[in-house]
Amino acid sequence: MDRVLVTGGAGFIGSHLCARLVTEGHMVYCWDNMETGSESNLAAIMSSPRFELVRHDIITPRDLAVDRIYNLACPASPVHYQRDPIHTIMTSTVGVMNMLELAERYGATLLQASTSEIYGDPKVHPQKEDYWGHVNPIGPRACYDESKRLAETLLVAHERQRGTNVRIARIFNTYGPHMSADDGRVVSNFIVNALRGDDITINGDGSQTRSFCYVSDMVDGLVRLMHSNLRGPVNLGNQVETSIMELAERINALAGGRSALVHRPMPIDDPYRRNPDITLARQRLGWEPRVSLDEGLRATLKYFRSMMGT
């Protein structure tokens, strides 16, 4: 049994990760400032003697002797990370430094949840880990993109200078139960509007693409990376590219087809294509997504129907 800290553990991906780790028999400590997390995401494990939830912001140092740290603390949707850009930057810089110092103190392995956003609006498709990206350092998304890039730099610097045991996961678009209805992500936006029968709003003409990975597959990738001897960065995501228009049509059909599809201008710096090369994860982790988009969307729709009472 490991003593495992999951920061941001009450959030979307973090809550699924906490549940898996508790099920596997580990002692799991969850730190979350509840800015975007929710205790309801942890309902299935709150009563477990192997789980402890503490309301805490990683910008403030805190001590805990652990064997492994999954650092998922940071708002991950544009609506949330642009609400307080300075705090977003602090979370992925000061907060990451605090996690690195904790890992160094106890000889723990630290896995940093990085992001496909470090590639910006990429000029290379699919994106491999050796691509340096195309990022606007002063745009509205920069508080997230650039601080996540710096977080990777901090991890590698600590590894080289102090021997800290680190892992870097570059997470691509992920969806599933426990997403927030108001997080501004494309899947949750489309599902909520489709279930209400409201218009589904599409940025641009809808030809831009994303690659959608179901949350259980993502959690499996994170666990495999943590227990590997691979530092990374490692892309974790689904290689099947789906246009935003196709996603809207699928969700609308699964929800009953009551919504109209309408268009609005593209946001500033919104990437046109996003598609991971996951060769490294396949070869070194034996990992690739298993859940199809239709299967995952049905499970996600079921969750939102229950949450919304529709």
Domain edges within the chain: 3-178+212-240+274-290
144 catalytic residue (yes or no): yes
Please report where in the chains the tokens 């110092």 appear, as a residue.
Answer: 101
The answer, yes or no, to whether residue 269 has pLDDT greater than 80, is no
Which of 8-12, 89-93, 121-125, 284-288 comes out lowest in average pLDDT? 121-125
DSSP string over 168-197: EEEE--EE-TT--TTS--HHHHHHHHHHHT
222, containing H or E segment:
helix 215-226
Element containing residue 7 per DSSP (H, E): strand 3-7
For the segment(s) 3-178+212-240+274-290, the CATH number from 3.40.50.720, 3.20.20.100, 3.90.1150.10, 3.90.870.30 is 3.40.50.720
Kindly report whether the global pTM for this prediction surpasses the value 0.85.
yes
Q: Give the model confidence (pLDDT) of 53-108 as tens digits.
A: 999 999 999 999 999 999 999 998 888 899 999 999 999 999 999 999 999 999 99
Q: Look at the block and give the residue holding tokens 């309301």.
A: 55
- Check 29, 70, 81, 144 and give the catalytic one: 144
pLDDT at 268 > cutoff 90: no
